[in-house]
A and B are shown apart, each in its own frame.
Chain A
Amino acid sequence: MSKSTSSTLKPWYVLFVFLLIWGIVPVVSKSFSKELLYEFQAPFWVASSKISDLQSFWALKIHSRNSLIETCRDLARLNAAYELKLQENTYLKDEVLRLENALNIPPLPEYQTEVARVCRRDRSLWWQQIMIRKGKDYGIIPGAAVVYRGGVVGKIKEVFEHTSVVELVTSKRFRVAAHLEGDDRPVTYQGNLNMAFSGPKGQLFNIPEDVIVTAEKPRKLVSSMLGGVFPDGLFIGWLTELEPGSDGLFMQGTIELENALLNLSEVAVLLPLKQEN
C-alpha cells in the first residue's frame, strides 16, 4: 500500500477505533459523562433565566404609581373571590373525607405543589421540552405532573441536581389517559407534530362513537386519574374535530391546545404526598 493511500485511510482507522472504544465503554461511564456535561451547561441556562427575570423586574419598576394602585385593587378583588372558593373547598374536602369513611373507599391522592421558573424552552421538530429551575434539591421526581394556571403542562422526564426536564403536552412523545368533561369514559391523549407558525395541537384516540363535536361546540378535554399522574379534571385542550379511527370501533380527533404553553415562564410540579394508612 502506498504512503498516500495509508495517509488517506488513517482518519477512517481512527474513526473505527473510536467507534470500537465507544461501543465497549460501560453504560455507567456514558451516563456519568452525560450528566457531567449537562450539569456543566445548566448554570448557563439558570443564569440566563435569572437575567431575564431581572429585566422583567426593571421593566416593572418603570410602571407608574397609578398602574400599581390599579393592579393592587384588581388583586384585592381576586383575593376576595379566592377566599370564598377556599371556604367552599374546605367544606368539599370534609364532605369527601366523610364519604370516604362512610363508604370505606381508598382516599384520593394528595399533592404538594412546588412552583418553579422555566429557564429553557426546547421545541424542535423531534421533541418539545422545557427546563425548570428546580431539581433533586427540591425533591422533584421523574414522572411527576407539571401544571400551570391554564391546566396540564407535561410530565417530569429527567431530574438533575438543580434543574429538571419536562416533556411538554405538545410533544409527540407525551401520552396520557384523559376524559371529556361530563363524560367519564377514558380516552387516550397524545401530542402531535406541530406546524411552524401555528398553534399547538394534539391527538385524541379511543373516542366512543356516540360523542358529537362541532366547530361551534367543541368539547373540553380534561385529565383523568386513571393515568396515575394527574389529578382528575385539569384542562388539557379542546376537542374540535372528529374522524373515524383506524380500528373502526372508536373515533380519533384533534385537540387544540392553549397558545400559552409556548411562552410558559412559571409552572407547578405536583409531588404526590405519602398517604397515612
Chain B
Amino acid sequence: MGTLEKHSWFFVLLGNILLIFLNQLVSEWMSPFGLYLYVDSLLIMAPILLLSYTGGFWVVVLSGLFIDAMMPIPYGMHAILYLVAYNILYGLEHYYNGGVIKHARFSTLITNTALMLLLAVLIGRSLIFSAVYWLNFVINIGLSSLIMLAINQWFYALQTSIVKSLVRSKQLYE
C-alpha cells in the first residue's frame, strides 16, 4: 500500500471540511430568512462508501469535532452522534450485504432526518412543546432534504474522484 493510499482518509476528511464550509456559507446567506441548512449525513455516508471502518471512524470523529468547535453546544456532541449513526449504517451495510450503499441517496436522507430530529430534541429540550418550534423544524428539514437530493450525487462523485485518483488498487464500492 502506497503512502497516498494509506492516507486516503485524510483526503476524504478534506472533502468533508469543504462541505462543512459550503454548508455554513449557504446557511449564512439564508439566515436573514430564518432558515438553516443541515446536510450532515453526507459527512457520514462518504466514509462508508469509500473507506475502511477505521479510516471512516477517524473521518467521522474529526468532522464532528470540526462542527462542534463552531457551535454553542457541548463539545463532542456531533462527533458522538455521527459515530453512532456511522456504526448503525456500517452494521446495516454488512447485514444487508451492500444495501446501504446501493440505496445511498435514500439512506442519506433518512440518516439526515434522524440526526436533525435527535438534535432538535437534545438541544431544544425547553421548546419541544412549542408548535412554532416544530413548524420551523419541518421547514428546515424539508429545505435541507431538497438541497441534499440536489447535491449528494455531486458530493459523492467529488469524494470518489479524489480517492480513486489516489487509490488505484482498491476496488471502490466493493
Task: Report A's interface with B, CB cutoff 8 A.
Answer: 7-8, 10-12, 14-15, 18-19, 22, 30-31, 33-38, 40-41, 44, 48, 120-127, 129, 157, 165, 172-173, 193-198, 262-263
Cβ of B35 under 8 Å from chain A: yes
Q: Please name all residues of chain A whose beta carbon is closer than 8 Å to the beta carbon of B76 when the two chains form the complex.
A: 22, 30
Q: Chain A binding site: helix, strand, loop or mixed by DSSP?
A: helix
Smallest CB separation, B68 vs chain A (Å): 7
Nearest Cβ on chain B to A156's Cβ, whole angstroms: 13
| Cα(A31)–Cα(B76), bound, Å | 11
Indicate whether B33 reaches chain A with its CB closer than 8 angstroms. Answer: yes
Known: A18-B61, A44-B21, A126-B124. A262 touches B32 (CB 8 A): yes
B132: Cβ under 8 A from any A Cβ: yes
**B146 close to A (CB within 8 Å):** no
Given pairs A36-B69, A125-B124, A126-B73, 16 additional interface contacts (CB within 8 A): A8-B91, A19-B80, A31-B75, A33-B65, A34-B65, A34-B68, A38-B70, A121-B32, A125-B36, A126-B123, A195-B136, A196-B33, A196-B34, A196-B140, A197-B33, A262-B32
Residue B137 interfacial (CB < 8 Å): yes
Partner of A122, one of B31, B35, B90: B31
- The interface residues of chain B, by DSSP majority, are classed as helix
- Look across to chain B and name the residue whose beta carbon is closest to the beta carbon of A38: B69
Q: Of B24, B87, B136, which one neighbours A11 at CB under 8 angstroms? A: B87
- Tell me the complex Cα distance, A124–B73, Å: 12
The 9 A-B residue pairs whose C-beta atoms are closest, nearest first, are: A37-B69, A196-B34, A123-B31, A262-B32, A124-B36, A38-B69, A126-B123, A11-B87, A121-B31
Q: Which residues on the B side are within 8 Å of A8 (C-beta)?
A: 91, 94-95
- How far, in angstroms, from A96 to B130 measured CA to CA in the complex? 48
Give 9 pairs: A residue, B residue, CB < 8 Å, sorted on A.
Answer: A14-B57, A18-B61, A30-B75, A31-B75, A122-B27, A123-B34, A157-B72, A172-B127, A196-B33
Chain B residues lying within 8 Å of A48, measured Cβ to Cβ, are 25
For B24, what are the chain A residues with a Cβ–Cβ distance below 8 Å?
120, 122
Q: Interface readout for B134-153 with A: 1 if CB under 8 Å, 0 if not?
A: 01110110000000000000
Smallest Cβ-Cβ distance to A9: which chain B residue: B91
Across the interface, A18 reaches (CB within 8 A) one of B33, B69, B83, B123, namely B83
Name the CB-closest residue of B to A22.
B76
Min CB–CB distance B169 → chain A (angstroms) = 23
Check B66 against A41 for contact (C-beta < 8 Å): yes
A41→B133 contact, CB < 8 A: no
C-alpha spacing A138/B90, complex, angstroms: 48
Residues of B participating in the A interface, judged by any CB pair closer than 8 Å: 21, 24-25, 27-28, 31-36, 53, 57, 61, 65-66, 68-73, 75-76, 80, 83-84, 87, 90-91, 94-95, 119-120, 123-124, 127, 130, 132-133, 135-137, 139-140
- Among the listed A10, A33, A125, which residue makes an inter-chain contact with B133, where contact means beta carbons less than 8 Å apart? A125
* CB-defined contacts of B87 to chain A, threshold 8 Å: 11-12, 15
The reply to whether B83 and A262 form a contact with Cβ atoms under 8 Å apart is: no
Given contacts A18-B83, A33-B65, A123-B34, contact A41 B70 (CB under 8 A): yes
B69 A127 Cβ-Cβ under 8 A: no
- Chain A positions within 8 Å of B132 at CB level: 193, 195
Contact B53 A127 (CB under 8 A): no
| Chain A residue with the shortest CB-CB distance to B21 | A44
B35 touches A196 (CB 8 A): yes
Contacts of B21 in A (CB 8 A): 41, 44
Q: Is the CB of B66 within 8 A of A125?
A: no
Q: How far is the CA of A236 from the CA of B147 in the complex (A)?
A: 36
